[in-house]
Amino acid sequence: MSQYYPIDGTPSLVSPDISLENSQPSNVLKLGVMASGNGSNFEVVAQAIQAGKLNAQIQVLIYNNPTAKAAERAANHGVKAVLLNHRDYKKREDLDREIVKTFNQHDVELVIMAGWMRLVTQELIDAFPDKIINIHPSLLPSFKGVRAVEQALETGVKITGCTVHLLRLEMDSGPIIMQAAVPVLPDDTAETLHARIQIQEHRILPLAIASLADR
């Protein structure tokens, strides 16, 4: 594992120990991103691509919340954003079929769930087998679901972190690709701990994408 010190000086551990420099895909990887809110993970992937650190291209962003800031971020990077409001679909399967259709129209190879706050169905998973990744703010399998940071604080663990994993039907499950461990400090609140975890999310997500490129 590699030790890393972010701006605030708090150490973290990242595993596996790889870098973007030695794990670049041989061909441009065509990404589809799903987001429901602020879109900070979309932003970090787009910036890694723009800086030449990740040999990929975001083909399209799908967002389900009309007020999601992720759509604004996509526009700033010249990425097409498609609103698929989940409220317009009677069944989750109907929404997922439309997601699959949209990704296929844009020639997407790898799907990145970057803060997608909806459960998905087998319709989406079967369309992109082992090609959908999710990022979650805990060291899975601990603290699945919502309020993962709050769960960590309530339980009193001394170490938490974030996980990038392949998507499976069961919520926050599937083979783990990469994790970053973050210490819980005595005076942490949900806000301060989440902020430090998010630093690590932004660190490992581009690495995890690159590691999957030639699978």
Q: Is residue 9 part of a domain?
A: no
pLDDT for res 20: 65
Is 92 annotated as contributing to ligand binding?
A: yes
Is 117 annotated as contributing to ligand binding?
A: yes
Please tell me which residue in 86, 136, 165, 202 is annotated as part of the active site: 136
Is 134 annotated as contributing to ligand binding?
A: yes
| Structural domain for 97, as ranges | 19-135+164-176+202-212
Q: Is residue 24 part of a domain?
A: yes
Q: Is residue 4 part of a domain?
A: no
Query: Is-catalytic flag, 77?
Result: no
- What pLDDT, in 10s, does the model give residues 118-148? 999 999 999 999 999 999 999 999 999 999 9
Q: Is residue 98 part of a domain?
A: yes
The span from the CA of 96 to the CA of 24, in Å, is 30
Q: In degrees, to the nearest 5, what angle opens at C-alpha 160 toward C-alphas 159 and 165?
A: 140
Q: Is residue 123 part of a domain?
A: yes
pLDDT for res 64: 96
pLDDT for res 16: 84
Q: Is residue 168 part of a domain?
A: yes
- With a cut of 50, which residues of the chain have pLDDT below it? 1-9
The number of domains in the chain is 1
**CATH, residue 96:** 3.40.50.170
pLDDT for res 2: 44
Q: Is residue 195 part of a domain?
A: no
Plot region of 182 (φ>0 → left; ψ -120 to 50 → alpha; else → beta) = beta
Burial status of residue 124 (CB atoms within 10 A of its CB: 0-12, 13-18, 19 or more): buried
The token duo for 6 is 């972010």
Spatial CA neighbour of 93 closest among 129, 61, 126, 59: 126
Q: Is residue 3 part of a domain?
A: no
- What pLDDT, in 10s, does the model give residues 185-194? 999 999 999 9
Is 120 annotated as contributing to ligand binding?
A: yes
Is 41 annotated as contributing to ligand binding?
A: yes
